[in-house]
Amino acid sequence: MPILNVKVSGNRSDDLTRAITDLLTELTASILGKNPAVTAIAIDYVDPRDWFAGGKSLAEQGQKSVYFDVKITDGTNTKDEKARYVSAAFDGLSKLLGTLHEESYIYVQDVRAEAYGYGGRTQEWRYHHPAG
């Protein structure tokens, strides 16, 4: 059910895309408790000359960065789970990409169940009509 939109500074790489996907799928399942079978991830690569932090491009700074948001149904995770997830994702991405710029953002977005879904059904609808 969650969708992750990921931006990574640098050149596209099949190996890196797979490693990021594996990492974020695993963390999203193990920390946030989300089913990998319905987790979607889209990854975009951004030229470091086009990514600015602190008024300078990452290319100028010789830095790397990442941004991603993950949309989850509101009320399905605690503050502590979200904090652990942000920390683990930052650490894991740092291991894959190297030292990340401090302004590398991770956004766990709580989305209302009646306004969010997949396969043409909202999460609210799924709550009231469990599979079965």
Q: Which residue in this structure is represented by tokens 């306004």?
A: 115
Q: State the pTM of this model.
A: 0.92
Q: Is 122 exposed, middle or buried (0-12, 13-18, 19+ CB in 10 A)?
A: middle
- What is the rounded distance in angstroms from the CA atom of residue 93 to the CA atom of residue 21? 11
The count of other CB atoms within 10 Å of the CB of residue 117 is 16
Dihedral of the alpha carbons of 38, 126, 86, 33, in degrees to the nearest 10? -70
What are the distances in angstroms from CA 33 to CA 8, 65, 76, 77, 128?
A: 24, 26, 9, 8, 20
pLDDT in tens, 3-37: 999 999 999 999 999 999 999 999 999 999 999 99
In three state form, how does the secondary structure of 73-115 look?
Answer: ECCCCCHHHHHHHHHHHHHHHHHHHCCECCCCEEEEEEECHHH
Average pLDDT over residues 47-76: 97
Q: What is the pLDDT of residue 132?
A: 57
pLDDT tens readout for residues 64-117: 999 999 999 999 999 999 999 999 999 999 999 998 999 999 999 999 999 988
Residue 123 or residue 86, greater confidence: 86
At residue 127, the 3 state secondary structure works out as: helix
For position 81, what pLDDT does the model report? 99
Domains of the chain, earliest start first? 3-125 (3.30.429.10)
What is the C-alpha separation between 119 and 91, in angstroms, rounded? 33
